[in-house]
A = this chain, B = another copy of it.
Amino acid sequence: MRTLHLNAFLMGVGHHEAAWRHPRSQPARIADVRHYQELARIAERGRLDSVFLADGLALAGKVRHNALGGLEPLTLLVALAAVTEHIGLIATVSTTYNEPFHVARKFASLDHISGGRAGWNIVTSAGEAEAANFGVERPPHATRYARATEFLEVVTKLWDSWEDDAIRADRAAGEYADLRRIHEIDHAGEHFTVKGPLNTSRPPQGHPLLVQAGSSEDGKEFAARHAEAVFTAQQTLQEAREFYADLKRRLPAHGRRPEDVLVLPGISPIIGSTEREARALERELDELVIPAYGLAQLSHLTGLDLTEQHLDGPLPDVPAETEGAQSRRKLVVDLARRERLTVRQLLSRLAGGRGHRVVAGTPEQIADQLQEWFTEGAADGFNIMPPLLPSGLEAFVDLVVPELRARGLFRHEYEGRTLRANYGLPRPPSRYAPVA
């Protein structure tokens, strides 16, 4: 039977932008590894598929009103690997400001260290502030995706450069590795020239899991060709179903089946033992929102300067569609128009999840929402974004997960030892291995 896949999306002391101001959070723990280790253990106790860390390569002036300045995701995930045994570990790493040799090696190392639990969320870094930390002009959208495509090709070639049986460790003969099974990749392309082989042996999963989160046209095509899981922001069941169907429809053209890619919308569950309690928590967080911060975030999400916007009027008349570069803008503009929100109301709606869906309710009500999207063709699972951490993750694991299990929608025990095994995805063979 088809069951849900659930990731714990970890972000500082919570996904709500005012989480750090709430008495139930501890903002001093933002760079404290033990905080994240505790979160990973909670998620593993609930048998969630993985923990996931987003990333950006600039501070971008947002730290005055939010708890930022934490740890680099790949580095942090190793510390989480050390205190867990089963849960997957997915880090965001940019293809625009990195070299494929380093990225291949670091994920291969994380995969070895974790016994096959690594996943890579591939992003192309749209921000201007990021470009300024690497001494370049921000490349155009299409260039970033072209580079990402070639980057991924190089990385997977490097992961394949040691065949699975390359190591012989024959002490008597003095032969450690069979050089016929270790390959130079001799990649020479538009963006990269890489000889190889990698200097780390093949990762336990063959390839760490490939995850993608872009919802633009280029993003969806990239996901349809390469991704094995897709994180996405969707506000309504109808839009989520359209996105889901669109993505799955693109797969056959690339020789892939619908079950080869899992679609996982984000959701921020505000959980109370009664609906009234959930609403009260939602209101508490809402009252801690700082409008100036919200306007800066809104400007960032839409790519428009809205920092001087009047709070109690409607969103100005801006085009929802752009040339594919700002898929989040359409979501935000559609949301404001559909629900006739003032700017202040819009900021509240976005404060919980930066465009991801926020649902307040009892564990049963949250489970209802997850079940509906899952059975109505809108999701294969969810990226869980607790408003407060650790308390919101604890509430999800201790209250919602049992409810999902009672409905037969979620596992009681892990299926396997690797992230791929728990996602039900195959282990890719090396492209250089002889065909059996």
Chain B CB within 8 A of A167 CB: yes
A residues 107-162 touching B (CB-CB < 8 Å) = 108-110, 112-113, 129, 132-135, 162
Q: Chain A 175-219 against B: per-residue CB contact (8 Å), 1 yes, 0 no? A: 111010010000000001111111111000000000000000000
Residues of B within 8 A of A64 (CB): 175-177, 179
Chain B CB within 8 A of A76 CB: yes
Once A27-B176, A79-B82 are accepted as A-B contacts, the answer to whether A21 and B171 lie under 8 Å apart by CB is yes
Chain B CB within 8 A of A54 CB: no
Once A133-B101, A133-B194, A195-B133 are accepted as A-B contacts, the answer to whether A75 and B110 lie under 8 Å apart by CB is yes
Query: Which of A66-74, A246-254, A299-307, A364-372 is near enough to bind chain B?
Result: A66-74
A residues 16-75 touching B (CB-CB < 8 Å) = 20-21, 23, 27-28, 30-33, 56-59, 61, 63-72, 74-75
A interface size (C-beta, 8 A): 71
Could you tell me the distance in whole angstroms from the C-beta of A260 to the nearest C-beta in chain B?
Answer: 28
| Distance, CA A75 to CA B80, complexed state (A) | 12
| Distance, CA A176 to CA B28, complexed state (A) | 10
Chain B CB within 8 A of A238 CB: no
Could you tell me the distance in whole angstroms from the C-beta of A403 to the nearest C-beta in chain B?
Answer: 33
| Distance, CA A30 to CA B171, complexed state (A) | 14
Chain B CB within 8 A of A222 CB: no
| Distance, CA A58 to CA B105, complexed state (A) | 11
What are 12 of the A-B contact pairs (CB < 8 Å)?
Answer: A20-B176, A21-B171, A31-B112, A31-B200, A31-B201, A64-B175, A65-B176, A67-B176, A72-B106, A72-B200, A75-B75, A98-B102
Binding site for B on A (CB under 8 A): 20-21, 23, 27-28, 30-33, 56-59, 61, 63-72, 74-76, 78-79, 81-83, 97-99, 101-102, 105-106, 108-110, 112-113, 129, 132-135, 162, 167, 169, 171, 174-177, 179, 182, 192-201, 288, 290
User: What 10 A-B pairs come out closest when comparing CB atoms?
Assistant: A135-B193, A82-B82, A78-B78, A69-B201, A132-B195, A75-B109, A72-B109, A59-B199, A71-B109, A33-B113
